[in-house]
A and B are shown apart, each in its own frame.
Chain A
């Protein structure tokens, strides 16, 4: 793996980490409201997968800030969206759970568990039909693997031979329900194995995620068929800001904190001679600055105007005919 990829990964993972820690603070201050789902602890999956996957369409669920940043969306417009400002990626109408930007092939930000899996299958169909070579990546939690949408999507992607990478982020919990209390099959990748190649990887390890997704991308784009990765990961924070999160033991938390993906990348990167202390220091400073700028941008941005309540419901044609 090249030095530049690892450097980029460290920058994005650190950016995601600092961005979300700051988002949490801003939530406590009242600048952000509603449901805020943090992905602190899951950065290696979000960044590793995004970097390895290239430009293809991304469909992800509501825990998506780091995905968006990794895709190259600006920390400023993402933070502004969290603040509900006019300058936000979704003009302040969507908030934390609904980041969308087709310019980045980024399609949410979906807050209905499992609902975006069929979208990914449909998008892959359309892209293939229109002669594009890029595959589609859909990421979803362990909780989503028990929904009807999940099985329907695996079946169709396989039946129709579509280039979809199903990326299951198994962080062991769906709100307060541990994965083994909700899924009859405990190793989740096995729930896909009959439909497509399926593997389980360590999602705290950037290198492993990057390699697995690179391989998967190669497979779906050359074979034109789906592939499945279960990445074992962990969210250090509660499900959202409104979850007390008291269903996890301190011991369990420690086990996963010891595998902190950002720390791991730092250590491993230095060991492999791909990162230097000097570079890390530079990045850490740059990231602090960028996040501070993002917050200032969000704070200074205007609220959407009142008339925005009625815009973006329909295209212009219908906006003209609907009173």
Chain B
């Protein structure tokens, strides 16, 4: 199956099971979604549950908040993360704060799904990773779906949760072939160790997780080490327990993300690791991130602006040697 089909299956099953679950967004209904994630749901559940909206992101999120207040479980799709910026007031001032400001009385069981990241030559306004804005906002849960299993179980979990969730996908994962592993007990707030190792801990998610996994064998061969790779399903809350257990074993920590480095979520995770595990570390933590530039259109420059399997391998090998591995 394709990654996007795992998301579709999650939506379909939740809509089947609970008639208060509705989806809304631009072209999600009749058209079937720009990335085909919501395909078939309009035909199956009708226009009252697969709701086509105009190009009005502020309203898409604002309406979803109202729908949640009114008794529904809306799943809003923002076509790509770039357009979520228009809805940031609703997300930061409303969605993230209503429970708290109301002393816990107003509950928002809602999800805002959106793909982010650099796809291929879509240029600066269509090639961004913005997780930092969500993870740094108290009151928001930020989940990431890096594979079909996390897409399927994670999205179902998010829809059932009584809190607002930002659910991040990646544009380049949609057409990727992968299977949903049977994981009845899937908990998005627990990270997965996707590859065990004893010398270096590498944490990643979304597209960069796949690039990291591709880089691992080169790193292991060049440095003569074994690498442990952790796949996060949630950025906030963050499963520090799994990370901590791994770092205590390896003594070395690397985070790979696609976002520009300055002010990144990667920086936050390094702070946490440094604060909590300083004396366990045998090397300074390493951040491998995108460059601090708007994403260029030209393919060569675009690839220079983000980590690639090759660059991930080179940077870790260089850092490893510098730090006496």
A318 lies within 8 A of chain B by Cβ = no
Tell me, in angstroms, the Cα distance from A309 to B290 when the chains sit together.
12
Closest CB in chain B relative to A171 CB, distance in Å? 14
B52 lies within 8 A of A181 (CB): yes
Closest CB in chain A relative to B2 CB, distance in Å? 16
Residues 95-126 of A contacting B (Cβ, < 8 Å): 95, 97-98, 110-114
Which one of A41-49, A130-138, A216-224, A300-308 is at the B interface?
Answer: A300-308
Count of interface residues, chain B, beta-carbon cutoff 8 Å: 33
Selected contact of B298 from candidates A92, A110, A148, A310, CB within 8 Å:
A92
A93 lies within 8 A of chain B by Cβ = yes
B299 lies within 8 A of A84 (CB): yes
A160 lies within 8 A of chain B by Cβ = no
Tell me, in angstroms, the Cα distance from A317 to B59 when the chains sit together.
40
Which one of A139-147, A275-283, A291-299 is at the B interface?
Answer: A139-147
Main secondary structure of the interface of B (DSSP, over half): loop
* Chain A residues whose CB sits within 8 angstroms of the CB of B55 once the complex forms: 113-114, 143-144, 146-147, 174, 182
A35 lies within 8 A of B126 (CB): yes
Residues 23-67 of A contacting B (Cβ, < 8 Å): 33-35
Tell me, in angstroms, the Cα distance from A33 to B298 when the chains sit together.
9
B301 lies within 8 A of chain A by Cβ = yes
Using C-beta atoms within 8 Å of the partner chain, give the interface range for chain A. 35 or more
Residues 193-229 of A contacting B (Cβ, < 8 Å): none
* Chain A residues whose CB sits within 8 angstroms of the CB of B54 once the complex forms: 143, 146-147, 174, 177, 182-183
B121 lies within 8 A of chain A by Cβ = yes
Given contact pairs A93-B296, A303-B298, A111 touches B123 in the complex (Cβ within 8 A): yes
Residues 288-309 of B contacting A (Cβ, < 8 Å): 291, 293-294, 296-301, 304-305
Tell me, in angstroms, the Cα distance from A34 to B121 when the chains sit together.
5
Q: List 25 A-B contacts (CB under 8 A).
A: A33-B120, A34-B297, A35-B122, A93-B298, A95-B121, A95-B297, A97-B123, A98-B124, A111-B125, A112-B82, A114-B55, A144-B55, A147-B54, A148-B56, A148-B86, A174-B55, A175-B26, A175-B27, A175-B31, A182-B53, A303-B298, A304-B296, A304-B301, A309-B291, A310-B291
Selected contact of A176 from candidates B27, B296, B299, B301, CB within 8 Å:
B27
Closest CB in chain A relative to B21 CB, distance in Å? 22
The 10 A-B residue pairs with the shortest CB-CB distance, nearest first, are A176-B31, A95-B297, A146-B54, A34-B121, A84-B298, A182-B54, A33-B121, A92-B298, A111-B125, A93-B296
Selected contact of B56 from candidates A33, A146, A309, CB within 8 Å:
A146
